[in-house]
């Protein structure tokens, strides 16, 4: 069952249907059933839930930063320096295995096993990400599955 197969994907599709939200009720008591409306409502709910409470206040920032240790000039230069293959390999080796893969379906074990073949390309992608100050789109995507709690499962809070 480890290999991706038609049978495996058929099982996942069948089991996935039981996890779908077919109906949600909104704050004003209306019920929504269309998939696009449910998705939009969920996006709005979680954007509102995780909206930053940050306020641009110099006084607030000064209070927050007060007493924090400072990075030395030497350490800062090392942190801002170019990426090094040995450093990437060491970071990869600290990552635990057996975790859910990314959206590409490739677990950490894949990168560890094929390190020699992938290292130069991976370094190039990460260097470009640093220079562009933006991860590739594939690294910024995720699949989120809402897990139901107790209570009314048509309420997005549950």
pLDDT tens string, the chain, 158 residues long: the values are 345 566 656 666 666 555 667 888 888 889 999 989 988 998 999 999 988 777 778 888 888 889 999 999 999 998 888 999 999 999 999 999 998 777 777 899 999 999 999 999 999 999 999 999 998 887 887 777 777 788 888 888 88
**Integer Cα distance of 121 and 85 in angstroms:** 11
The number of angstroms, rounded, from the C-alpha of 34 to the middle of its chain's C-alpha atoms is 26
* Per-residue confidence (pLDDT) for residue 9, from 0 to 100: 60
**Integer Cα distance of 78 and 117 in angstroms:** 27
Residues 114 and 77 in one domain: yes
Is residue 62 included in any domain, yes or no? no
Is residue 156 included in any domain, yes or no? no
* Domain assignment of residue 2, given as a range: 1-52
What are the angstrom distances between the C-alpha of 147 and each of 19, 21, 27, 142, 154? 8, 10, 20, 15, 12
* Per-residue confidence (pLDDT) for residue 1, from 0 to 100: 39
Residues 95 and 139 in one domain: yes
Residues 48 and 75 in one domain: no
Give me the number of domains the chain comprises. 2
Residues 75 and 139 in one domain: yes
Residues 101 and 37 in one domain: no
* Angle between helix 115-132 and helix 85-94 axes, rounded to 10 deg: 110
**Integer Cα distance of 67 and 131 in angstroms:** 31
Is residue 2 included in any domain, yes or no? yes
Residue 147 token pair: 């897990």
* Per-residue confidence (pLDDT) for residue 14, from 0 to 100: 62
What predicted TM-score, i.e. pTM, was given to this entire model? 0.56
């Amino acid at each position: 069952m480890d290999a991706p197969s038609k049978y495996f994907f058929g099982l996942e599709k069948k089991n996935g249907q039981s996890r779908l939200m077919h109906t949600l009720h909104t704050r004003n008591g209306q019920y929504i059933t269309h998939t696009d409306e449910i998705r939009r409502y969920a996006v709005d709910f979680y954007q509102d839930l995780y909206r930053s409470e940050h306020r641009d206040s110099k006084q607030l920032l000064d209070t927050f930063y007060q007493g924090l240790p400072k990075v030395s000039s030497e350490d800062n230069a090392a942190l801002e320096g170019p990426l090094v293959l040995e450093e990437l390999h060491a970071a990869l080796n600290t990552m635990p295995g057996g975790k859910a893969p990314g959206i590409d379906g490739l677990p950490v074990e894949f990168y560890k096993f094929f390190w020699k073949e992938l290292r130069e390309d991976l370094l190039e992608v990460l260097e470009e990400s640093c220079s562009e100050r933006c991860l590739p789109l594939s690294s910024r995507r995720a699949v989120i599955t809402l897990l139901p709690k107790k209570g009314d499962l048509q309420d997005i809070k549950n």
